[in-house]
């Protein structure tokens, strides 16, 4: 069994702020990651993005060691709300085979567009799924762990949120998260 609360150290060269570049089939956006105010959540995300954190692939049931997010779909998109990703099965129920505790910081709120936050199924059920807000969503404060904010390419969130969807907010034409690159500015 994988301990979701154990996270590998973040070993990214440089001294600048930690960033994540999301390369999608519709364009690219860059987020600053709040490694000092949400250290466990950021370490989990970075570990999965780089393939340095152990996980179970929900499609195969077998241990995985490659970058978790590369090639998966934005499986839920809602205009004026958010876009969601992080489930390799694209069903909204898949995850990495572990859960970890919520991490809330009084300064990290869902105050506007571009907030990067963990999706969950209730308290302390974080795994791999995350969402990015298109606008303020204060009702999510202290329910979803904020761990970053998009600082470049914010307009891409609205473009993804407005692709045609089925009756369950799943894009009819797949929007692919091709890769996540972690770096320091």
Question: Which residues does the annotation mark as catalytic?
Answer: 76, 81, 84, 120, 131, 140, 144
Tell which phi-psi region holds residue 71, choosing left (phi > 0), alpha (psi between -120 and 50) or beta: left
CA nearest to 34, candidates 177, 122, 145: 145
Q: What is the 3-state secondary structure (H, E, C) of 42-108?
A: HHHHHHHHHCCCCEECCCCCCEECCCCCCCEECCEEECCCEEEECCCCCCCCCCCCCCECCCCCCCC
Which helix (DSSP H) or strand (DSSP E) does residue 21 occupy?
A: strand 18-24
70, two tokens: 């590369």
Q: What whole-number distance in Å separates Cα of residue 24 and Cα of residue 139?
A: 28
């Amino acid at each position: 069994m994988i301990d979701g609360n154990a996270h590998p150290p973040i070993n990214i060269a440089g001294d600048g702020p930690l960033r994540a570049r999301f390369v999608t089939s519709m364009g690219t956006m860059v987020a600053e990651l709040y490694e000092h105010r949400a250290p466990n959540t950021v370490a989990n995300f970075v570990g999965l993005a780089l393939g340095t954190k152990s996980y179970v692939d929900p499609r195969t049931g077998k241990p995985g060691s490659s970058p978790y997010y590369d090639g998966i779909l934005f499986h839920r998109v809602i205009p004026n709300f958010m876009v969601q990703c992080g489930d390799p099965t694209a069903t909204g129920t898949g995850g990495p085979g572990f859960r970890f505790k919520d991490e809330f910081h009084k300064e990290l709120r869902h105050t506007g567009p571009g907030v990067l936050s963990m999706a969950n199924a209730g308290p302390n059920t974080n795994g791999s799924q995350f969402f990015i807000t298109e606008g303020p969503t204060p009702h999510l404060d202290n329910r979803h762990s904020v761990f970053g904010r998009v600082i470049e390419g914010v307009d891409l969130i609205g473009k993804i949120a407005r692709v045609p969807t089925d009756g369950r907010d799943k894009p009819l034409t797949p929007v692919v998260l091709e890769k996540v690159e972690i770096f320091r500015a």
